[in-house]
Structure formats: structure tokens, C-alpha cells
Homo-oligomer: A and B are copies of this chain.
Amino acid sequence: MSENTVYTLGELATLLAVELRGDPDVRVNGLATLKSAVPGKLSFLSNPRYVSQLADCKASAVIVDPEFASACPSAQLISSSPYVTYAKASQLFQPGVSARPGIHPSANVHPSVVMGSGVTIGCNVVIDAGAVIGEGCVIGAGCYIGERSRLGEGSTLYANVTLYHDVKIGRNAVVHSSVVIGADGFGFAFDGRQAIKIAQLGGVSIGDDVEIGAGSTIDRGALDDTVIEHGVKIDNQVQIAHNCVIGAHTIVCGCSAIAGSTVIGKYCTIGGGVGVIGHLKIADKVMISAMSLVSQSIPESGIYSSGTGLLESKEWKRNIVRFRQLDDMAKRLRELEKLSQEKQEQDKQTQDKQTLGK
């Protein structure tokens, strides 16, 4: 972490719009966890589980819920949402990566490209005909932006991002390295002998405030666009196939894959390594746990899982053999239940007879 950003606690209280309890002239130069903080650092308590760490914390100040403020030996920035306040503080301490405003002479920008003011175009960037780059965008080294693609104001592409043609991205996007947006959706018609390519004639349409992690891929649509709505956050190595719609503010964790034409609701959380098959509809506020396979539509909000859980391999092998016998076991169980019931009825009849016979 770079050490050159310094704030007084008074400045921080103003910038973060929180109450300061302590000396406003104390200076902090970075963030640290409760355990690793030294004087000069700002820390935070977001999980009450760690409240016992407050007593020994060496930080000059701590972002803390009013409930725990008294347990804090240092100055406090009082917030009812300490994790959100920490997030905002972290942005204040982000190390400056030197801006290189302007267009680097090694960049190849087509004369028809429309460029907003204050853009930063890095080394070896290539921007093709008809593209539009919004005000204040930062395009890292080696990026390629295809024909007619549009990037909203304040967006950042890190190095080596590829946007194909007709990709629209909104404002304040953050797109990490090796991301590919707008490659062909995977569509073929089998003619009995070979796969005939279906040209992918749609584009990709991405809203504002979207972040896309390193190595993720979002394919262009077959006829209509693939759509990523406002505020969606996508982690690394996620695959989003053609004509998916990802609802606003949904979170997609690393290595998940959404197959073609699936529509995911708003405010969902798709765990890491999840697979969602094609042509499904997932409701708003659905959570899918890590590495689940979603093979049917989910019409109601809730938490969903699949898988067997982890076992020691020896134990796992014993149980997995039985998994293959499960249908057989179920039938045998039903058979025993029938026998047991018949027997009970028989016994009852015998008893009734004996009672009568007495």
C-alpha cells in the first residue's frame, strides 16, 4: 500500500460524513485490520465477533458502531454501517497510479472515434471506426475497442481488455485485464454432418456502475443484445453466454457460468463456480451457494444449493457406491413398510379373533 496519502481524523469525519470522537488533528496514512494496525493507521470493526480485538488495537482511530465505541481505546469514527464506511474510506486511500492524460503516441485511434475530454489512452491501445469514448475514461495499455463500441464517462479498462464491435458500456465501469466482451455466442445448427455457424448479430449492452473481473467473458447476442443491468458486479473468470440478462445489482462470484438466454433477477448473489443452464428464469434476490448447478428456473427468492458436501475420500467412496443404489434402496424400504403394515393388520385381526374367541 502506498503511504503518501495522509488525512487528519477531522478531514476523514467530513469526507465520510460520520461523527468523530477524538482529536481531529490526529493524522492517519492508511487502513489496516484490527490485528495488524500500528499507530498512524485507521482500522474498522465490522463483525462483532472481533470486538475483543479492540482493546489491544494499536490503530490511531477505528470505524465502529456506536454500540462498541466504548470498547475502543483510540479515537472513533462512529458509523451504524462500519463496513460501508470502511469501503468509502478505502477509496480515499487508493494508491495513485500515475495518470498519463492524453493519447499515447503509440495508440492507434481511428479518425472517426469520438473522444470525451480528459481521457487517458495508454500505450498500444487500438480503437476502431465509430467508437465513442466518454469523458474521463482511462484505457490501459494494449486494449482493443472494436467498431461502433461505446464507453460511458468515467469508465476504466485495465490493460489488455478486448471489446468487440457494437459493445455498449455505461458510466463508471471498471473492466479488468484479459476480459473479452462481445465475442460470438456459441451457436451452431447441426446439419447431420457438421455444425453450421449461426452468425451472432446482436451486441452487448452493459449499464452504469458495473465491474467485471479479470479474465471474464461476456458474449454478444445471437439476434438481440446480451444485457448486464446497472450496478452488476462480476468477479474473475465468469462466463456469460449470449442473450443472458443479468438483473441490476446482482453479484456473480468467480468462475461461475451462465448459459444462453437465461434471465437472472435483480439483487441476486450467484456463488463461486456456479453453473446455470440455458433458457431459465431466476427470480430477484435469489442466492445460489458455491458450485451449485441450477438446472431449473427458480420462481421464488431464497437460498439454493446442490452437491454432496466434502468427505474424506474413503468415507466418500463408501457412500457414493450407495448413491448408485439409492433408487433400489428406496423401493426395498417401501417393500418392507408394506410387509410391516400387512403384518400389523394381520396381528390386529388375529388379536381381534382371539379377543372374540375368549
A-to-B contact residues, CB < 8 Å: 1-2, 30-33, 36, 46, 81, 83-84, 86-88, 90-91, 93-95, 97-98, 104, 106, 108, 122-124, 126, 128-129, 140-142, 144, 146-147, 158-160, 162, 164-166, 174, 176-180, 183-184, 186-191, 193-203, 209, 211, 213-215, 217, 219, 222-224, 231, 233, 235-237, 239, 241, 249, 251, 253-255, 257, 259, 272-273, 275, 277, 289-296, 302-327, 329-330, 332-333, 336-337, 339-340, 343-344
Q: Among B162, B177, B254, B333, which residue has its beta carbon within 8 angstroms of that of A332?
A: B333
CB-CB nearest in chain B for A165: B97
The answer to whether B178 and A197 have CB atoms under 8 Å apart is no
**With A31-B201, A91-B199 in contact, do A320 and B313 touch (Cβ < 8 Å)?**
no
CB-CB nearest in chain B for A105: B108
Task: Determine how close the nearest CB of chain B comes to the CB of A333; give it in whole angstroms.
Answer: 6
In the assembled complex, 25 residue pairs joining A and B whose CB atoms fall closer than 8 Å, in A order, are: A1-B223, A83-B189, A84-B190, A90-B197, A94-B201, A95-B165, A98-B129, A106-B108, A122-B126, A159-B162, A160-B180, A178-B179, A180-B236, A186-B235, A215-B215, A275-B291, A293-B309, A302-B312, A304-B316, A305-B312, A306-B309, A319-B326, A323-B326, A329-B329, A336-B336
**With A97-B147, A188-B251, A316-B305 in contact, do A159 and B126 touch (Cβ < 8 Å)?**
yes
CB-CB nearest in chain B for A94: B199
The answer to whether A311 and B322 have CB atoms under 8 Å apart is no
Q: Give complex CA distance A239, B178 in Å.
A: 13
Most chain B CB neighbours (cut-off 10 Å) among A190, A200, A272: A272
* CB neighbours of A87 from chain B (8 A): 187-189, 196-199
* CB neighbours of A304 from chain B (8 A): 310-313, 316
Given contacts A108-B123, A124-B142, A142-B160, 10 further A-B contacts (CB under 8 A): A83-B189, A93-B199, A124-B124, A159-B162, A180-B214, A217-B236, A259-B290, A292-B310, A293-B307, A329-B330
Q: Give complex CA distance A186, B189 in Å.
A: 35
Q: Give complex CA distance A306, B330 in Å.
A: 19
The answer to whether B183 and A177 have CB atoms under 8 Å apart is yes
Q: Give complex CA distance A307, B296 in Å.
A: 14
* CB neighbours of A184 from chain B (8 A): 174, 176, 211, 213
Task: Determine how close the nearest CB of chain B comes to the CB of A92; give it in whole angstroms.
Answer: 8
Task: Determine how close the nearest CB of chain B comes to the CB of A89; give it in whole angstroms.
Answer: 9
